[in-house]
A and B are shown apart, each in its own frame.
Chain A
């Protein structure tokens, strides 16, 4: 690496140079349990968003609300920029959208 921007913290640690990318938070969507939920996501154009999910467990709902081998189906349509979550997991699902660049 011989060119680009270098950023150092006051400690002297370098945290950015010309090979560095960043992870940038864009949006968080939470789909309720047992529903197909569709979100229209703003801001995305040429960079694909990173989709990730966290399953949310609520007190007292485990026995009738959760099966260990059923999971949410998450689809992403980049054209209309729609995120669709079918919460087969039968628990709420949180999906974070991030840019990587």
Chain B
């Protein structure tokens, strides 16, 4: 760019750099918990013939029974609407039951109020059969309620009241920012590598990330993550714990001992992305 107005933040970054559309807010709401309906827990998954909930779609919490594990999930959904497709085209009697997210576009990103008790796993899938997105967090405190916001680059989906404010455009004339729309107030971001996640689950290392701003009410966005470790022949299963201390995020593990030895391997080490935001900037 050789002309125009340049905004630089306190970190030398350009929040309005014209190389992408600034994500605005499509919808907000209170996350919903899975409900037991018709013999299955309705959440992110599908059942087999409606007879048994297939929790393999997203990870149970190590050591928990299925009901307990599912009660920990919170989905970004405007529920209680339930999308369902009975039967399937391949001869298997699968049926999908999901809490559809108001994220109606694969480009959307969902932000969650950071659970005070922390979270363990992240689900983010698109169910083609339902034409919907299902996104949720597995919480450590099953009683906690958290809010969500859906960020989108689709200006048509954003509420943009009024007729004044600031708009910026890219070199092609495309709108990339409109101050009338509510945007996500992003503060910082970090990626824990897959190798680092492995060190947590295998060696018991605790990872720490102190962002450059420590909000009083932190919100986060992240990506699908079901890192876990259960070895064939072992009774010990481990998964992640992601918590906010008030100044930093920590990633640690918890390990459960089962009464039975596993007869299969479940070993997943996935990098963990955390984008830190606030619901809105402090006035």
- Is the pair A98, B283 in contact by a Cβ cutoff of 8 Å? no
Q: Could you say which of B18-26, B73-81, B195-203, B238-246 contacts chain A?
A: B18-26
B141-180 vs A, Cβ < 8 Å mask (1 yes, 0 no): 0000000000101000000011001100000000011011
* A96 interface contact, C-beta 8 A: yes
Contact, CB under 8 Å: A22 / B129? no
What residues of A have a CB within 8 angstroms of the CB of B66 in the complex?
none
Q: Given A7-B166, A22-B23, are A15 and B188 neighbors across the interface (CB < 8 Å)? A: no
Query: Interface on chain B toward A: helix, strand, loop, or mixed SS?
Result: loop
Q: Name B23's contact: one of A5, A16, A24, A47 (CB within 8 Å).
A: A24
Contact with A along B205-238 (1 / 0, CB 8 A): 0000000010000000101100000000000000
Among A19, A28, A94, A99, find the residue whose CB has the most chain B CB atoms closer than 10 A.
A19
Question: With a CB–CB cut-off of 8 A, which chain B residues contact A100?
Answer: 186, 189, 275
Contacts of A3 in B (CB 8 A): 10
Digit string of A34-67 for contact with B (CB within 8 Å is 1, else 0)? 0000000001000100111111111111111000
Q: Taking CB as reference atom, which chain B residue is nearest A45? A: B19
- Beta-carbon contacts under 8 Å, A68-101 to B: 68-69, 71, 94, 96, 98-101
Q: Across the interface, do A71 and B268 meet the contact criterion of CB distance under 8 Å?
A: yes
**A1 to B23 alpha-carbon distance, docked (Å):** 23
Chain B residues near A57 (CB-CB < 8 A): 125-129
| Interfacial residues of chain B within 1-57, with CB under 8 A of chain A in the complex | 7-11, 13-17, 19-23, 46, 56-57
A23: min CB distance to chain B, Å: 5
What's the Cα separation between A45 and B224 when bound, in Å? 26
* Interchain CA distance A5-B184 in the complex, whole Å: 16
B280 adjacent to A13 (CB under 8 Å):
yes
Contact of A4 among B9, B17, B153 (CB under 8 A): B9
- Contact indicator per residue, chain B 90-130, by CB within 8 Å of chain A (1) or not (0): 10101010000000001101000000000000001111110
**B residues at A contact (CB < 8 Å):** 7-11, 13-17, 19-23, 46, 56-57, 59, 85, 88-90, 92, 94, 96, 106-107, 109, 124-129, 133, 151, 153, 161-162, 165-166, 176-177, 179-180, 182-189, 213, 221, 223-224, 265-268, 270, 273, 275, 280-283
